[in-house]
């Protein structure tokens, strides 16, 4: 199953690169049409389906021109990729630490869950 993990990591890497370019269409191309994004701890849905994902990230990228993810660590097991991330320029300049869990189905992200913590302001 090593090949599945490598393929899954490549999909998540494309997602991160599109995010850092603030490329909405490139970002959305990594998700399945019925994908779900959510906050892990509360199970709150952030976006369900491609239209909602496109709307959320179009707004996020437009409102946060300095948005940038640095992947600090990545592990994968079969079709699941877990990233430790540092996201700067989030919601008005806030920096957050995050753990992102991505489940890949048929070559696309079917589910993404996020655990986020805001870094204290300097």
In this predicted structure, the answer to whether residue 2 has a pLDDT above a threshold of 60 is no
Q: Which range marks the domain in which residue 92 is found?
A: 2-118
Instruction: pLDDT band for 42, please (50, 70, 90 cuts).
Output: very high
pLDDT digits (tens, 9 = 90+) for 75-117: 999 999 999 999 999 887 899 999 999 999 999 999 999 999 9
Q: What percent of the chain has pLDDT over 70?
A: 96
Between CA 113 and CA 115 the distance in angstroms is 7
Find the CATH number of the domain harbouring 106.
3.10.450.50
Q: Quick one: pLDDT at residue 3?
A: 74
Q: What is the mean pLDDT of residues 41-52?
A: 96
Q: Quick one: pLDDT at residue 71?
A: 97
Q: How many CB atoms lie within 10 A of CB 61?
A: 17
Give me 21's structure tokens.
């370019």
* The total number of structural domains that make up the chain: 1
Q: Quick one: pLDDT at residue 60?
A: 94
Cα 86 to Cα 3, 99, 119: the distances in Å are 27, 9, 9
Between CA 85 and CA 112 the distance in angstroms is 14
Q: Which of 88, 98, 86, 53 is nearest to 67 (CA)?
A: 88
């Amino acid at each position: 199953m090593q090949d599945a993990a490598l393929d899954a990591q490549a999909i998540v890497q494309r997602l991160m690169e599109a995010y850092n370019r603030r490329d909405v269409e490139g970002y959305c191309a990594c998700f399945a049409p019925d994908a779900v994004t959510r906050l892990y701890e509360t199970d709150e849905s952030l976006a369900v389906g491609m239209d909602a994902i496109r709307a959320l990230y179009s707004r996020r990228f437009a409102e946060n021109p300095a948005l940038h993810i640095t992947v600090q660590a990545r592990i994968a097991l079969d079709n699941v990729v877990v990233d430790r991330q540092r996201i700067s320029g989030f919601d008005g300049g806030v920096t957050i630490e995050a753990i992102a869990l991505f489940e890949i189905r048929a070559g696309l992200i079917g589910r993404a869950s996020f655990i986020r913590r805001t870094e204290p302001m300097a």
